[in-house]
Amino acid sequence: MNRQAEQPPLAADWRVAEERASDARPTAASIPDTSISGEPDPSQPTSGRPELRATTSGDATSREPLVNDVAPREAASRLREPGGPPVPGTPGSHRSASGAAAGRGGTGGTAAGPTCVIALDVGGTIIKGGLVGPGGDFLHTERRPTGRDGGPEAVTERIVGFADDLRATAEGLGLTPRAAGVVVPGIVDAGAGVAVWSANLRWRDLPLRALVAERLGLPVAFDHDVRAGGLAEGRIGAARGSGNFLFLPLGTGVAGAFVVDGRPYAGAQGRAGEIGHIVVRPGGAPCGCGAHGCLEAEMSGPAVARRYAEAVPGAHATAAEVVARVGAGDPVATQVWHEAVAVLADGLLIALALLDTDLIVIGGGLSRAGETLIAPLRTIMLERATVQHVPHIEAAALGDDAGCHGAALLAWDAVEVAR
């Protein structure tokens, strides 16, 4: 099935949307200085991120358009109007969507003055929040602890309360919030708006989209954090120009997002892309999922640190320190790193055998290793590939903010669908 046929190229429209919206949206210059990052609250670390503007709009015209988008119909299924049923169907095409973008921050639509969406990326330890303009620029960012030790109900209240506070912040900045995007880890039923399960956050069947929508009185888009990050890397990050790629953040945990024909593929149960639990070393290290030798247990931040501690009894080094020692020529660190990279190569070759992508984008903390990771990874994959084509491998462009960017993109999609 060629889903691209259903979707006109978006990136061109996105650029138009950016250009048009940039006329009307708030800019750093149009908002008082204190408003960019908000009043600093010692309990709520806050920072402006001018560098994000560079990543979202820096060279938008330098690559070919692509399709990476959630189709309006799909976005509609993820959208819930507050107090109402899911929005049926979709009225518009991307052409109308791009035209509508001109009105987002202007006089069109229901909102007057500059507009924004509320973006929330819920992680195991930190919730990243942002107010994001129509062009993808962060107008305000804020991080709060997830507070998972308080249990799932407390986490839920933190998420909903954070969203509510961001709405108040937006209004204080003279911005009209149009929608919210919330992305979460674990098993996610985006269509139903339900956080099905998370090992870290310990929730089950949590109707999070409805809870946030009821509190905010705004449309809320809801999805999986890594798939949202893949969406963002596809539209505005390292995978622009690729309709079929794998986005694989490597950090404490390992989960992937396959983008197929321009869309993050969730699978029948919302469980696609769980590459971290491919068994690559049978009988190997125990994994949090209950199996042994999973990719996540053998090649993640903690796994690299554990491998080093096993190789050098009594030594302690984080994954980043191991990478630094590789750069310094430490033979033990180099051996440990080579073994870990080989694990990743084996896992990726399995992934490629299942879905023949034209690009792999490595994200998460370990992607900061750059060529220290990518060069040997590519070499080992080429040595071991049989039927697979080893595609280009790149480090992610959006870093830790990919999920938050994705939440914002989904929220703006929801605004379009609601129009």
Q: Pick the piece of the chain touching Zn ion (CB under 5 A) from 4-12, 217-225, 230-238, 283-291.
A: 283-291
- Minimum Å gap between C-beta 274 and Zn ion is 8
Complex with Zn ion: residue 271 or 419, whichever CB lies closer: 271
Q: Identify whether the C-beta of residue 367 lies closer than 8 Å to the C-beta of residue 361.
A: no
Complex with Zn ion: residue 102 or 287, whichever CB lies closer: 287
User: Could you give the C-alpha distances from 249 to 96, 121, 207, 258, in angstroms and in order?
Assistant: 34, 14, 26, 12
- Minimum Å gap between C-beta 364 and Zn ion is 16
Q: CB burial class (10 A; 0-12, 13-18, 19+) of residue 97?
A: buried
Place of tokens 């069947």: 205
Q: Pick the piece of the chain touching Zn ion (CB under 5 A) from 25-33, 90-98, 271-279, 362-370.
A: 271-279
- Minimum Å gap between C-beta 288 and Zn ion is 6
Q: Identify whether the C-beta of residue 81 lies closer than 8 Å to the C-beta of residue 142.
A: no
Q: CB burial class (10 A; 0-12, 13-18, 19+) of residue 200?
A: middle
- Minimum Å gap between C-beta 296 and Zn ion is 5
Q: Pick the piece of the chain touching Zn ion (CB under 5 A) from 93-101, 179-187, 272-280, 391-399.
A: 272-280
Q: Which of 268, 256, 262 is nearest to 226 (CA)?
A: 256
CB atoms under 10 Å from CB of 58, counted, come to: 13
Complex with Zn ion: residue 188 or 279, whichever CB lies closer: 279
d(CA 57, CA 54): 6
Q: Which of 166, 128, 168, 176 is nearest to 25 (CA)?
A: 176
* Residue choice 31, 210, 289, 320 for contact with Zn ion (CB under 5 A): 289
Complex with Zn ion: residue 225 or 296, whichever CB lies closer: 296
d(CA 50, CA 36): 10
Question: What is the identity of the amino acid at 213?
Answer: A
- Minimum Å gap between C-beta 270 and Zn ion is 17
Q: Identify whether the C-beta of residue 194 lies closer than 8 Å to the C-beta of residue 205.
A: yes
Contact mark string toward Zn ion, 317..356, x via CB under 5 A: ----------------------------------------
Q: Identify whether the C-beta of residue 418 lies closer than 8 Å to the C-beta of residue 220.
A: no
Q: Pick the piece of the chain touching Zn ion (CB under 5 A) from 15-23, 117-125, 282-290, 305-313.
A: 282-290
Residues in the chain: 419
Q: By CB under 5 A, what part of segment 76-105 binds Zn ion?
A: none
Number of residues that bind Zn ion (CB under 5 A): 5
- Runs of H (alpha helix) within 47-174: 50-57, 72-78, 94-104, 152-172
- Minimum Å gap between C-beta 392 and Zn ion is 28
Q: Pick the piece of the chain touching Zn ion (CB under 5 A) from 33-41, 129-137, 292-300, 334-342.
A: 292-300
- Runs of H (alpha helix) within 125-207: 152-172
- Minimum Å gap between C-beta 293 and Zn ion is 8
Residue 287 contacts Zn ion per CB under 5 A: yes
- Minimum Å gap between C-beta 347 and Zn ion is 11
* Residue choice 53, 209, 277, 281 for contact with Zn ion (CB under 5 A): 277
> Quick check: helix, strand or coil at residue 118?
strand
Q: By CB under 5 A, what part of segment 294-313 binds Zn ion?
A: 294
- Minimum Å gap between C-beta 299 and Zn ion is 12
Q: Pick the piece of the chain touching Zn ion (CB under 5 A) from 107-115, 150-158, 257-265, 275-283.
A: 275-283
**Which strands, in side-by-side order, build the sheet including 194-197?**
187-189, 194-197, 204-206
Complex with Zn ion: residue 12 or 291, whichever CB lies closer: 291
- Tell me which residues touch Zn ion (CB under 5 A): 277, 287, 289, 291, 294
